[in-house]
Structure 1
Amino acid sequence: MTVTSLIIRLTMSLPSGLASATIKGYFLRLLQLLSTCLAFSLVATTGTWRETIGNWSMFIWCFCFVVTLLTFIVELCGLQFLWPFSWDDFLINYASYSTLLCLSASIIYPTMYIQIVPRGSSWNHAIAATAFSCLASVTYATEVAWICARPSHITCYVLRMPGLLKGLENFVACVIFGFISNTSLYLHQPALVWCVAAYSICLFLGAVALLLYLGGYSNKLPICFPIFLLGLALLSIFLYASALVLWLLYQFDENFGGQPQRSSDVSCHHQLTHLVCTWDQRLVVAILTAVNLLIYVADLVYWARWVFVRD
């Protein structure tokens, strides 16, 4: 019995709670499971992931595989009613984040490793893993478009401006954490630890805001939800602005123990084993911090117009 015929038979026997689930949805889910599983399996066999960014790419593929597998089991057993949030909104948001995360892994992993891995089986595995990561990105993006195209789905929060900004904020924060997973970048200096704390606080609050919306609890706050988001954006701007200033000072200013020149970083002299050295990681974090700060400013402007102008 083929996988397709098995899914068709299971679909026909599912309870009414899964009436909206189709073969197309199961097919996408299986492609997601296959692509993410093959991506981390191929990389695990090469041994080229035992670095900071490599660990982050492996985490992305493993995380997407596990959550997708759990989602598939829930849908297959018709247990969506146990989920406290809107199931479609959860699927859209999860697929959107997975699209961005797998896409970033598809770019960062080959940039760091394919060029330094010697030709042979390891190089072929790294190429194949990148291809499957790209396939995972496409399947997750297809799922977002498919769910939003359903006649029964009225709104697509993640594709509207506030949802898009919140998604970008959280995504950039996740990429930042991928680069600062090398604790030697900040543990030696309390000011840099504060930067990591600022990133963590903003990511946590952003996730809380998203859960409040998905759970339908936004109207149960003691203040209006747009005002809450406006205050959240203002707080995040303060945290990111302080993180940007401190990160630049303590990483690149000699007066604060930083390294203004790339050549002063010893790890940058070993390009055959490290395509992206420690100094490069510091620079990427600084750039991403500035990018996220601008996104939070756009978020603040949006909600300020909503609160003070729209009314």
Structure 2
Amino acid sequence: MPTLKLNPRSLISPLGIARFFQILLSCTAFSLVAVHQDYYDAYGTWSMFTWCFCFVVSIVVVALELIGLAESLPLSWQDFTSAFSMLAALMIFTTSIVYPSVFIPNRCASERCSYEAAATAMSCFCFLAYAVEVGLTRAKEGEVSSFLASVPGLLKVFEAYVACLIFSLVDVTKSYRSYPGLQWCLAVYCICFIITLLIIILTIGRCLASLPIPLEKTLVGYNVLAVLLYVTAAIIWPIYSFRNTTRPSPCNPLSPACARWNSQLGVTFLSFFNLIAYIVDLVYSSKMAFVTTPA
């Protein structure tokens, strides 16, 4: 049975201070919104979930490191915290854009929106706190560290998160049912997401390194495949999505036609973002596998 040993130094280290601000700012953000009860519809629910999720997990991380239980868990703690900080930064960043763009114009049009503006500011500062943690835990050049703390590992989290955003927008459009080309694109998004998520899970579970395969070269091969698949998706999706359709004018964001157009455009941009991410991932992975020499 693991023994508990208090580690108060974890609270006063730069990483501990960053996590303190993460907890404080995320708690302040969702408290301001909850008091004013301004979190209706899917966007508000997403924002509240993001702040609460990051708040709870950050408290758990701080508590486990404080009582000295983190290293006794049957997982790679550094991989887990690196992946979570990257995921939280991405989630908070998205929320810091989505929440004010939806709720501040609606609220300010009829009354004061000080609560919404303050929550947005706290969310932006919270993103900076998580970004600081990502920077503090990221593996430096030539440093032996956990995989998810390296640039390719952080990119894996980014790629999986962007794929989730794509799925949410594809579900809005429903246009993939009309053309086989769009169904191919959806298959590309699903295949790459599943494999990337599996890599993340196996890494955190300390299982990836035990696989009977040359790991670094296998990751390079997967990245080559992902780049080729995303190239096809980035080309095919806009061709079929915007075939025989034009942007509604005027485009009311609340109208189904405009929402569908915006979602299709969002999937197009996110496809290119993920394509760029996989290309950068391929470059870094190739450098780690074929260029970097062991010390």
TM-score bracket, shorter-length normalisation: 0.7 to 0.9
Task: Give the drift of 1:46.
Answer: 4.4
Distance 1:60 1:300, change over 3 A: same
Question: What secondary structure does 1:18 align onto?
Answer: coil
Give the corresponding residue for 1:282: 264
Give the corresponding residue for 2:118: 128
Give the corresponding residue for 2:47: 57
CA distance in 1 between partners of 2:40 and 2:185 (Å): 26
Give the corresponding residue for 2:192: 202
Q: Does 1:298 align with 2:280?
A: yes
Distance 1:60 1:248, change over 3 A: same
Distance 1:123 1:156, change over 3 A: farther
CA distance in 2 between partners of 1:103 and 1:154 (Å): 29
Give the corresponding residue for 2:5: 16
Task: Give the drift of 1:289.
Answer: 0.1
Task: Give the drift of 1:272.
Answer: 7.9
Of the three residues 168, 193, 203, the one matched with 2:158 is: 168
Q: Is the 8 A contact 1:229 1:303 kept in 2?
A: yes
Q: Is the 8 A contact 1:185 1:282 kept in 2?
A: no
Distance 1:28 1:309, change over 3 A: closer
C-alpha offsets along residues 7-48 of structure 1, whole Å, 9 cap, x if unaligned?
Answer: xxxxxxx94363652335555434323322332343454445
Matches within 5 A, 1:66-85: 66-85=56-75
Task: Give the drift of 1:145.
Answer: 4.1
Of the three residues 221, 224, 232, the one matched with 1:234 is: 224
Task: Give the drift of 1:171.
Answer: 3.6
CA distance in 2 between partners of 1:216 and 1:271 (Å): 45
Q: Percent identity?
A: 34
Give the corresponding residue for 1:139: 129
Distance 1:171 1:18, change over 3 A: same
Matches within 5 A, 1:144-163: 144-147=134-137, 155=145, 157-158=147-148, 160-163=150-153
C-alpha offsets along residues 141-166 of structure 1, whole Å, 9 cap, x if unaligned?
Answer: 233344569xxx96375564323432
Question: What secondary structure does 1:155 align onto?
Answer: coil
Give the corresponding residue for 1:262: 247
CA distance in 2 between partners of 1:272 and 1:248 (Å): 22
Question: What secondary structure does 2:119 align onto?
Answer: helix
CA distance in 2 between partners of 1:307 and 1:253 (Å): 42
Which ranges of structure 2 fall in alignment gaps of 5 or more residues?
Answer: none
Question: What secondary structure does 2:10 align onto?
Answer: coil
Question: What secondary structure does 1:222 align onto?
Answer: coil
Of the three residues 7, 25, 34, the one matched with 1:35 is: 25
Q: What is the TM-score with the length of structure 1 in the denominator?
A: 0.74
Q: Is the 8 A contact 2:25 2:123 kept in 1?
A: yes
Task: Give the drift of 1:110.
Answer: 1.9
CA distance in 1 between partners of 2:238 and 2:130 (Å): 36
Q: Does 1:105 align with 2:87?
A: no
Letter matched to residue 105 of structure 1: T
Task: Give the drift of 1:135.
Answer: 1.9
CA distance in 1 between partners of 2:103 and 2:255 (Å): 9
C-alpha offsets along residues 229-286 of structure 1, whole Å, 9 cap, x if unaligned?
Answer: 12321332344234334422332012xxxx2x2126xxx6325889x83312211210
Q: Is the 8 A contact 2:172 2:260 kept in 1?
A: no
